[in-house]
Structure 1
Amino acid sequence: MEDKHKEKSCCAHTEKVYGNAGKEVVEKHSSDDGHDHAGHSHDGHNHDAVEGNVFKMFLPPILALILLIAAIVIDNWVSQSWFTETVRLAWYLVAYLIVGYAVIKDAVMSIVKGDVFSEFLLMSIATIGAFSIGEYPEGVAVMLFYGVGEVFQTLAVSRAKRNIKSLMDQRPDEVTVIVDGKTKTIKAQNAAIGEIIQLKPGEKLGLDGELLTDGASFNTAALTGESKPDTKVKGETVLAGMINLNVAAQVKVTALYTESKLSRILELVQNAASQKAPTELFIRKFAKIYTPIVVFLAIGICLLPYFFTDTYNFNSWLYRALVFLVISCPCALVISIPLGYFGGIGAASRNGILFKGGNFLDVIASVRNVVMDKTGTMTEGVFKVQETVFKPGFDKDEILKMVNAVESQSSHPVATAIHEYVGEVDTSIKIESTEEIAGHGLKAFIEGKELLAGNFKLMDKFNISYDIDSSSIVYTTIAVAYDKKFVGYITISDSIKEDSKRTIDQLHKLNIKVTMLSGDKSAVVKFVADQLGIDNSFGDLLPEDKVNKLKEIKSQMGKVAFVGDGVNDAPVVALSDVGIAMGGLGSDVTIETADVVIQDDKPSKIPMAITIGKQTKKIVWQNISFAFAVKAVVLILGAGGLATMWEAVFADVGVALLAILNAVRIQKMKF
């Protein structure tokens, strides 16, 4: 890890700004006296208050500008005798120090701590050099515009941070708890598990909990981006950030303030920018090599012509070298590029898509294939029993009670469907042992007899013979065997999500091929794939089969994004170039394992995430191309004596500002 003083360079300063995104995302570098290098007061407060102090931030540049204009007017258009060389120098020097003192101090501190070639050094050499050859107005102007540029950088990053925090940090600071029948207001972070929160209509929930009231409707937009109210019933989980809409409700706290789903999501967003995109990493490395090269080139421009020209004039060549230094400052690149990626992360967050880093924005933009799971991704994952078919000679009700008792130990959606169909678990059924067989189903022993409930591959595994053509059933099928005999099956159906078809159409418009992999029956998978227009589908896959199939797709077709639940499909998520988890609010493990989390379970967010990645990459490369092109042209003109300090200011500060404005565009885009 780099020393903190390395952050005194423009490049590393940017790393400081983005490396802890969300917590101190707009923490500008301050010098030890409490002033930052833009010249405005830096009192240590969070930059949420930055835009309330805009005038204060602009005050030093405004004062310097007034003094500069006054001096230029006196110099050129006012007849007087008092504006002597000494007074003139002092006047310009005051204007210069108002905006330049902090920069010079940062340059000195950087050198002391080992970071010699910083942007502050470039600006200090160029402007002090301008003073040394009598170009006072240009020396002040360069530092003045640099200071203005720093203020705009602060405001741009402040806005990006504020946008994300306003979207994400929806937790109230206080909650009302019921103690001995009376209400009491306490800090949310002090609430203990098991305490009862009283939630009035219109109030935000501060912690995750279990709803104790019979029913209540909640606005979940802060968490999922979904504007439609979500009705919860007694016993269901409600999450921090949800807003109670209709009735007074009571909620039992089930997670501490720091362990809530929203806290995890906030932590994800806060840490997102620490994962640097390859483009950003390249620019950082480039700047570290580029800056010292530029300094030595400037020295060469100043001194080498002495050996090759008879009319060598030191002041003239020094001026060209100073212009060259100002032009060469890499601010536009190393500020606007991280801001572009951070803007992409913010735009995605606003739409309920959480990227774990700018690197994943880069990768997802290059994805040519999307491979997805079926259940819970393209279908609702809410199963309902369609029919029960049992062979004569078996007590159907008794078998269903046993299956229900065994399935009650599983959290799989199929188990939930069976429980809803059969009803309460019969506690008189004594289950001796239960084993989940991955990709197959469940095996249990009840009173010494074996019960199998799963797919037909489970029957094959235990050599249970059956006379059913399972491929002809276009539903998910749970085969049941008891005491080594096949007794029948249960069919369960799952409905396709309303935006699944639109999702596939949008992916095809992006020239992306779609493949569905599922452990469900091939007939069911093909049926769903045909309805949605998916290019390829494969069913009856065990977890290891999915891994092998994904390896095959990657070897043939390039970069792949896998979309699943992030838990059962962990090996495939790890293997894919980008792992996208549906149902980010449903599983802590999902948030931990996936690269991208879609909060509201909507598959239409998949093409949206890819589009945001493409737009972010496009903006970043626009900035790189523009900055390099302008700097290259003006560098050549400066070295040839055809560009003045004014052109240099545009090539540095002007290009940086334009690049920043371009980078923040993505935060306003609609996807």
Structure 2
Amino acid sequence: MDHTSDNETQKTPTSCSSTTSNSAPNEGKTKCGDCCGAEAQLSLHDDHDHANSEASNISLFLPAIISLVALLIAIALDNFFPQSWFTGWIRLGWYVAAYIPVGFPVLKEAVESIRKGDVFSEFFLMGIATIGAFAIGEYPEGVAVMLFYSVGEAFQNIAVRRAKTNIKTLLDQRPDEVNVLQGNQAITRKAETVAIGEIIQLKAGEKLALDGELISNNAFFDTAALTGESKPDGKNKGDVVLAGMINLNGVAQVKVTTAYKDSKLSRILELVQNASAQKAPTELFIRKFAKIYTPIVVALALAISTLPYFFVDNYVFSEWLYRALIFLVISCPCALVISIPLGYFGGIGAASKHGILFKGSNFLDVIASIQHVVMDKTGTITEGVFKVQDVNFNDKFNRDEILGMVNALESRSTHPVATAIHQFVGEVDHNLPLNNIEEIAGHGLKAEINGKNLLVGNFRLLDKFSIRYDIDPSSIVYTTIAVAYGDQFVGYITIADSIKEDAHLTINLLKSLGINATMLSGDKNTVVQYVAKTLGITNAHGDLLPEDKVNKVKAIKSKNESVAFVGDGVNDAPVVALSDVGIAMGGLGSDATIETADVVIQDDKPSKIPTAIAIGKQTKRIVWQNISLAFGVKAVVLILGAGGLATMWEAVFADVGVALLAIMNAVRIQRMKF
């Protein structure tokens, strides 16, 4: 319902909201990307929990270590301690043995990629380049190129695993087992087997595994797993408690209300697991570019090795083949196709650490370019926790009787105003004969009781039914609930909502980023203007119906400004659909936001809005740094290689070296402070 406040309609999913799971089949292996023959495996579905251990990391480098030792021995026998026996087939055999540990896995992947129809993968490029080096007698360089490539791949694997594990460790705080009360005894059971309605016993320091309702009188919980904030949160009997919360004192009992797989934390995990499926435009462009780019450089390499025959007097095939091989090694686009998705994934991870969930890397790009933030008032700028301040009824009406009817009608609504009235009046009299209950969007509620109409809402509702009243609504500062019964004006109830602690900081941070802020609200204009003046918001509009908000946002977008809309996650669907990115104040009790918004702020703090924008901007900056680095270095070394001025060593740096630099730059965002 709408009581001159912000929560009019149920929000529906936008066209770019949550995605279906797109986990890859080979989680243990990270590859450069579709453009090189395989998808960048950035999913969180990791079946090997030990993958990030030191032993696992060392095993990644074991083939490279074996090849390095064999290569160093061979170089020593070639140059420093020459031996008469180290020639011919023995020398070739030794270098082949040094090549196999790092080369065989790559050649195997190349064959598999070709079988799948992807000829121009990075495995194919590295294979023909190194085999070509062997063919012209450049054994050390053939082994060295594959060795450094293998080292680069190992570092890529570690970087991606670390990104996956960091986020999974951050979010998946659910214990596998719980203590379920059966009679007076606590029985340990698997969390996923616990049914709705069963009671869990939670000792001090234990984590809750399932969502539920607190049936103990009170308890304090650490909610960091869901909000990023470790500040103790007091809960009373009947309050909702969620999986991932840690009981801080005494023994608490919780009645399970949601299955293990449907808990809020499970939804959050699914959201982040699916986030990499929503690709940013930059990422999609690089993939398409590389699919065209790679065959072109292969053709150019063939031209470099053959065409000079017709134009160069002293043409030596092995010399021009060497240049072509260098060209191929340089051309491998690994730096782009691994570091770019890793950069976006790092941005998603950095946001998760701050209790901000992005539903895809595309939203990181969009939010980085936001010029105007449009906000709800209730639940976004204010706490959304209303308290009745005063009841002003005409003396000819029985105050308690009218309040009882209002309370009964409001019990049909989930609006914060309804909660405030219920807390003020008390228990609902369910015996009252309420009939023909109707919610009038943007106005309030109407029902029939004892043969008379009962109207509860804003003064526009009274105007709609031609109810006369003798007061000026604009003279009342607080949110006002007008009441009419039997076609007569009964009076009004005033309700107040407090401004959030960090709301003022939010507006200042947005201004410092050069972003305009507008507040749109269905609440009465006097309240909206008071809040706006307090916070320093110059553009604020109250008394708005849902269609009015749409028109206001359309007016902003007509100025070619990109708009983010911030709401409480259960209303204003038309405005969210119209905005470039929808940001929802998720809160601990609002499941709808997990399904509907593009970005979810878990702890309801508006100051996370500029934080999300800052993370988006930094992610985009890092991605473009990597693109510039990769293209710049490769362009220079490609020209040098084609002209015979670069060796395989420069080629290795242009490929593996640049890839490693780009990866280190990409993972840097996860360590930044925002």
Same fold by TM-score greater than 0.5: yes
Quote the residue 1:229 is aligned against.
232
Other-structure match for 2:519: 516
Q: Would the alpha carbon gap of residues 412 and 590 (structure 1) be closer, same or farther in structure 2, given more than 3 Å must change? A: same
Match of 2:588 in 1: 585
1:269 and 1:584, CA in 2 relative to 1: closer, same or farther beyond 3 A? farther
Equivalent residue, structure 2, for 1:31: none
- What letter matches 1:641 in structure 2? G
SS state of the match for residue 592, structure 1? helix
Q: Deviations over 1:510-551 (max 9, x none)?
A: 000000010001111111011111130111111111111111
Match of 1:646 among 646, 649, 655: 649
- Of 33, 45, 58 in structure 2, the residue corresponding to residue 11 of structure 1 is 33
- CA deviations on 1:334-363 (whole Å, 9 max, x unpaired) are 000000000000000010000000000000
Counterpart AA for 2:286: I
Describe the SS at the equivalent of 1:216.
strand
Identify which of 22, 25, 41 aligns with 2:44. 22
> In the alignment, what sits opposite 1:441?
444
Q: Distance in 2 between matches of 1:158 and 1:308?
A: 50
**Per the alignment, in what secondary structure is the counterpart of residue 197 of structure 2?**
coil
SS of equivalent residue, structure 1 residue 227? coil
In structure 2, C-alpha distance between the alignment counterparts of 1:525 and 1:49, rounded to whole Å = 51
Aligned counterpart for 2:567 among listed residues 564, 587, 610? 564
- The correspondence for 1:157, drawn from 139, 156, 160, is 160
Q: Structure 2: which 5+ runs fail to align?
A: 1-21
Count of aligned positions:
651
Deviation at 1:20, TM superposition (A): 6.1
Question: The residue matched to 1:616 in structure 2 has which SS?
Answer: helix
Which residue of 2 is the match for residue 245 of structure 1? 248
Equivalent position of 2:179 in the other structure: 176
Give the deviation of 1:427 after TM superposition.
3.5
Is the contact between residue 50 and residue 155 of structure 1 (CA under 8 Å) also seen in structure 2? no
Q: 1:80 to 1:643 in 2, by over 3 A?
A: same
Query: Residue 319 of structure 1: which of 294, 316, 322 is its match?
Result: 322
| Structure 1 residue aligned with 2:607 | 604
Partner SS, residue 644 of structure 2: coil
1:78-113: CA deviations, max 9, x gaps?
132110121110010010111000101111121122
Look up the match of 1:262.
265
Q: Distance in 1 between matches of 2:148 and 2:272?
A: 33
The CA deviation string for residues 20-66 of structure 1, in whole angstroms up to 9 with x for no partner, is 62213xxxxxxxxxxxxxxxxxxx73564454322221111011011
Quickly say closer, same or farther: Cα 1:422–1:483, change in 2 above 3 A. Answer: same
Aligned to 2:498: 495
Aligned partner of 1:354 in structure 2 is 357
Letter of the 1:623 counterpart: N
Instruction: Give the C-alpha shift of residue 389 in structure 1.
Output: 1.0
CA distance in 2, matches of 1:163, 1:3: 19
Aligned twin of 2:126: 123
Is contact 1:215–1:234 with CA below 8 Å preserved after alignment? yes
Partner residue, 1:629: 632
Q: In 1, distance between residues paired with 2:30 and 2:361?
A: 22
> Aligned partners of 1:53, 1:217: CA distance in 2, in Å?
39
Letter in 2 for 1:426: D
For residue 97 of structure 2, the aligned residue among 94, 111, 115 is 94
Letter of the structure 2 residue corresponding to residue 266 of structure 1: L
Q: Kindly tell me: are residues 14 and 21 of structure 1, through their superposed partners in 2, closer, same or farther at Cα, counting changes over 3 Å? A: farther
- Give the equivalent residue in structure 2 for 1:211: 214
1:14 Cα deviation (Å)? 8.7
Paired position in structure 2 for 1:430: 433
**Which residue number corresponds to residue 33 of structure 1?**
none
Moved more, 173-182 or 354-363: 173-182
Is the 2:42–2:164 Cα contact (8 Å) retained in structure 1? no
Aligned-partner residue type, residue 270 of structure 1: Q
Q: Is the 8 A contact 2:23 2:45 kept in 1?
A: no
Following superposition of structure 1 onto structure 2, how do residues 42-53 of structure 1 map, counting pairs within 5 Å? Answer: 45-46=48-49, 48-53=51-56
In the aligned structure 1, how far is the partner of 2:145 from the partner of 2:635? 19
Following the alignment from structure 2 to structure 1, what is the Cα–Cα distance between the partners of residues 299 and 545? 62
The answer for the alignment partner of 1:457 in structure 2 is 460
Q: Which amino acid aligns with 1:95?
A: A
Runs of 4+ in structure 1 deviating by more than 4 angstroms, as ranges, are 1-5, 13-20
Alpha-carbon deviations, 1:306-357, whole Å to 9, x = none?
1111111100000000000000100000000000000000000010000000
* Cα offsets for 1:608-650 (capped at 9, x unmatched): 0000000000000000001000000000000000000000000
Aligned to 1:38: none
Q: 1:16 to 1:479 in 2, by over 3 A?
A: farther
CA contact (8 A) 1:368 1:557 kept: no
Residue 386 of structure 1 deviates from its aligned partner by 1.0
Could you say which residue in structure 2 is the equivalent of 1:41?
Answer: none
2:202 and 2:23 map into 1 onto residues whose CA distance is 47
**Are 2:52 and 2:158, in contact at CA under 8 Å, matched by a contact in 1?**
no
The residue number in structure 2 matching 1:543 is 546
User: Which residue of the partner structure matches residue 413 of structure 1?
Assistant: 416
- Tell me what 1:482 maps to: 485
Q: 2:597 aligns with which of 579, 586, 594?
A: 594
1:351 & 1:245 partners in 2: Cα distance? 22
Instruction: Output the amino acid matched with 2:443.
Output: H
SS at match of 2:559: helix
> Contact 1:58–1:151 (CA<8 Å) still a contact in 2?
yes
The answer on whether the counterparts of 2:42 and 2:342 sit within 8 Å (CA) in structure 1 is no
Structure 1 residue 425: deviation in Å?
Answer: 1.6
TM-score (ref. length: structure 2): 0.94
Map of 1:28 onto structure 2: none
Counterparts of 2:82 and 2:412 in 1: how far apart (Å)?
A: 95
- 1:588 is displaced (CA, Å) by 1.9
The more displaced of 460-469 and 288-297 is 460-469
Q: Secondary structure at the match of 1:322?
A: helix
User: Relative contact order (C-alpha < 8 Å, sep 6+): which is higher?
Assistant: 2
Identity of aligned residues (%): 71
- Taking the aligned partners of 2:260 and 2:311, their CA distance within structure 1 comes to 72
Q: Does the Cα contact within 8 Å between 2:404 and 2:428 map onto a contact in 1?
A: yes
Distance 1:63 1:179 in 2: 58
- Cross-structure match for 2:19: none
Change (3 A) 1:562 1:193: same
How far 1:566 moved relative to its partner? Answer: 2.2
The 2-side partners of 1:587 and 1:3 are apart by 31
Secondary structure in 1 aligned to 2:526? helix
Matched residues in 2 for 1:456 and 1:246: separation?
47
What SS does structure 2 have at the residue aligned with 1:602?
coil
Secondary structure at the residue paired with 1:379?
coil
* Residue 419 of structure 1: how far off its partner (Å): 1.0
How far apart are the structure 2 equivalents of 1:80 and 1:106? 36
1:79 counterpart SS class: coil
Q: 1:104 to 1:655 in 2, by over 3 A?
A: same
Cα 1:8–1:263 shift into 2, 3 Å: closer
Structure 1, 476-485 or 179-188: larger mean CA deviation: 179-188
- TM-score for the superposition, normalised by structure 1: 0.95
Match of 2:348 among 328, 331, 345: 345
